[in-house]
Structure 1
Amino acid sequence: MRAPGVVHHGTRRRRAAYRRVVWSGAEVLVTVGVVLLLLVVHQLWWTNRQAQHGAERKVQALEREWGTPAPGSAAPDASTADGASAGTGTGKTGGGRTGDGKTDAGAAGQSSSSGGNSGQVRPRWSQAYAVLSIPRLSLRVPVAEGVSKADVLNKGYVGHYKGTQQPGQAGNFALAGHRNTHGEPFRYLPRLRRGDTITVETRTAVYTYTVDRTLPQTSPRDGGVIRPVPRSTVRPAYGYSRPGYYITLTTCTPDYTSRYRMAVWGKLTAMRPR
């Protein structure tokens, strides 16, 4: 008969140590997995829930505020740049010049000093001052001044690009919004089609734009899409060549990345006082 093998105490200790290392490593991997899962849930669900509820409350607050006319406020009239396209009610966008004879592109540089809407005080940085509605997307969301992530976009708001026009002005009223997380107001922006309507409500007026063109993908540095006469500098076949009354909606593309941007353009077709 063969003698049974002898297992030394040192071998047992090494095996026990090996098992402890493997077990500890497995525990660490499980813990990391749970943490990552919680982060994903927080980013994809909780931030959306918080931002969407906050945006809804802000829309309701603005509507309550507008229920009583602000002291000294007045509805826009056809003699201002804001009312240029709405005075006739025909949906025309007022040609290539503003009331003072300057081109729309020239008027764009005056947006920050003109204040956007007749009778409306220029919005403060990160202030919510308008409501954007897109029926096709079942979207109704606040518009705030600026495109800061912390102060505007991450709250589920849509942000107004500083230096672009205000609602109803000749030039380009340009907006940005998240496509994923933090309320993702522009989650379904690619669903917009030519002829869809976009409305922008302020304290004094309601502006209706009609979707006209879409730029599916461009560089994040393509500043041409938000110029007074919007035209892509990366893909020049997309955009316009004549002054008008435009709206631009921008967001990241494709889903869950910020590698590219997309833009949807529309033209002002109607305006009415509140």
Structure 2
Amino acid sequence: MQLWSVVGAIGRFMMRAGVVILLFVAYQLWGTGLSTARAQDNLTKKFDSQIAEFSPSTPANDTQPVVTAPTDVPVPQLGDPIARITMKNIDSDFIMVQGVDLKWLQQGPGHFPQTPLPGQPGNAAVAGHRTTYQAPFNRIDELAPGDLITVQTLQGTFTYKVDSHIDPKEGTTSGHIIVSPNDLSILDQNVGNRLTLMACHPKFTASQRIVVTATLTSNPAPATPIPAYNGVTTDASTDALAGGDSSAWPAAIFWSLFAGLAWFGVWWLARFWTPTLLRKRARRVSRLKDWKFLTTYAIGTPFVLVLMFIAFTNIARLLPASY
């Protein structure tokens, strides 16, 4: 009997662990989008106010030309909104932020700070998620040669046309290429005026990178200085695109333990503390008919789910930035 009791306990533990894993997967696929939606709302308000500030007003008599590419735009700081990127063919419309660390990619597509800003001379590189955090680059594999990508910045609105690439193995033509995570040639600046979009590939893995390049269809805007704040260099290998945020370990452990204790507390109260339940157990009456048992779970479950959501948020910070 003791052996079967142990087997039963292990089975119940595995079932509960499976539920937790499923909840985390659900959080990754849908829950992460909640924080991104809030961040995008805030970024949109900030970006729109910047557009209103730097877009010159047109005189009433229309006698003076309107400058569409100001050169005195501020150098963006990490986390600042820098552009609105729109890809109508794949229903993607997001505010782009400066930086490719995980905390910035959780808010939207991130611009590699050591590359020119979109619309300026050179190769502007951008990274984004494909499966989580509203997945702004979820369907970039569907972009075809000739598709248009529109980018609005403080210097104006710029249109890029997706380039054609030939698969070296199959010989087919598409709008993307697949490269290794260590291939930094996609950030080269001797390729003309273009936009480079990259994300992890295949979906749900970080073993490779899918890359879409697009060529600017108009003259570029005047260049602005590459930022020189801490953490930004001309070496893209120093960016944390493929790695998680190791500083999240303490918070992830704390909130996971807190959620686990809360779950255990609710279970203990429902199973052992309810007086009515103890009496009914002697008569082998179903616990589902005990209102105190149900009330304990009804009150405790939302509290546990909130703690699990916070724990999942910090655990997700440990995953690759473009997952």
TM-score (norm 2): 0.58
Q: CA deviation at 1:48?
A: 2.3
Partner of 1:220: 181
Contact persistence 2:94–2:109 (CA under 8 A)? yes
* C-alpha contact (below 8 Å) 1:143/1:158 kept by paired residues: yes
CA contact (8 A) 2:143 2:176 kept: no
Tell me which protein shows more helix as a share of its residues: 2
Match for 1:36: what amino acid? I
Q: Could you say which residue in structure 1 is the equivalent of 2:25?
A: 40
Instruction: Provide the rounded CA distance (Å) in 2 between the counterparts of 1:121 and 1:64.
Output: 14
2-structure distance, mates of 1:206, 1:229: 23
1:205/1:271 contact within 8 Å kept: no
Counterpart in 2 of 1:26? 11
C-alpha displacement of 1:23: 1.9
Q: Secondary structure at the match of 2:124?
A: strand
The aligned residue for residue 98 of structure 1 is: none
Deviations 1:29-74 (A, max 9, x none): 11111111111111111012331343244224422442354699x8
Give CA deviations for 1:206-242 in whole Å, capped at 9, x if unaligned: 1111111344211111110111134xxxxxxxxxxxx
Q: Within 1, Cα distance between the matches of 2:4 and 2:83?
A: 63
Q: Which one of the candidate residues 85, 100, 111 is aligned to 1:132?
A: 85
Deviation of 1:119 after TM superposition, in Å, equals: 2.7
**Structure 1 residue 122: deviation in Å?**
1.1
* d(CA) in 2 for partners of 1:76, 1:119: 12
Corresponding residue of 1:153:
105
Match of 2:139 among 177, 182, 188: 188
Superposed CA RMSD: 2.4
The one-letter code matched in structure 2 to 1:122 is V
1:92-112 deviations in Å (ceiling 9; x for gaps): xxxxxxxxxxxxxxxxxxxxx
1:229 is aligned to 190
Equivalent residue runs for 1:84-163 within 5 Å: 118-150=71-103, 152-155=104-107, 157-163=108-114
Question: Is the CA contact 1:75–1:205 (under 8 Å) kept in the aligned structure 2?
Answer: no
Q: Which amino acid aligns with 1:174?
A: A
Check 1:138–1:60 CA distance in 2 against 1; reply closer, same or farther (3 A cut): farther
Kept after mapping to 1: 8 A contact 2:119/2:153: no
Task: Give the secondary structure class of the aligned counterpart of 2:146.
Answer: coil
Cα distance, 1:188 vs structure 2: 0.2
Q: Does 1:75 align with 2:60?
A: no
Structure 1 unaligned spans of 5+ = 1-14, 78-116, 231-243
Q: Work out the percentage of aligned pairs sharing the same amino acid.
A: 29
Aligned to 1:246: 194
Scaled by the length of structure 1, the TM-score of the pair is: 0.68
More displaced 10-residue stretch of structure 1: 56-65 or 127-136: 56-65
Residues 206 and 272 in structure 1, CA contact (< 8 A), matched pair in contact too: no
* Unmatched tracts of structure 2, length 5 or more: 58-65, 165-174, 222-323
Secondary structure of 1:270 counterpart:
coil
> Residue 37 of structure 2 corresponds to which residue in structure 1?
52
Q: How far is the alpha carbon of 1:134 from its aligned partner?
A: 0.7
Q: What is the alpha-carbon distance in structure 2 between the residues aligned to residue 270 and residue 219 of structure 1?
A: 31
Please give the secondary structure, in 1, of the residue aligned with 2:217: strand
Tell me the distance in 1 between the aligned counterparts of 2:177 and 2:134. 22
Looking at structure 1, the residues matched to 97 and 130 of structure 2 have their Cα atoms a distance apart, in angstroms, of 17
Q: Residues 149 and 160 of structure 2 are in contact (CA less than 8 Å); yes or no, is this contact kept in structure 1? A: yes
What's the counterpart of residue 10 of structure 1? none
In 2, the alpha carbon distance for the partners of 1:135 and 1:46 equals: 25
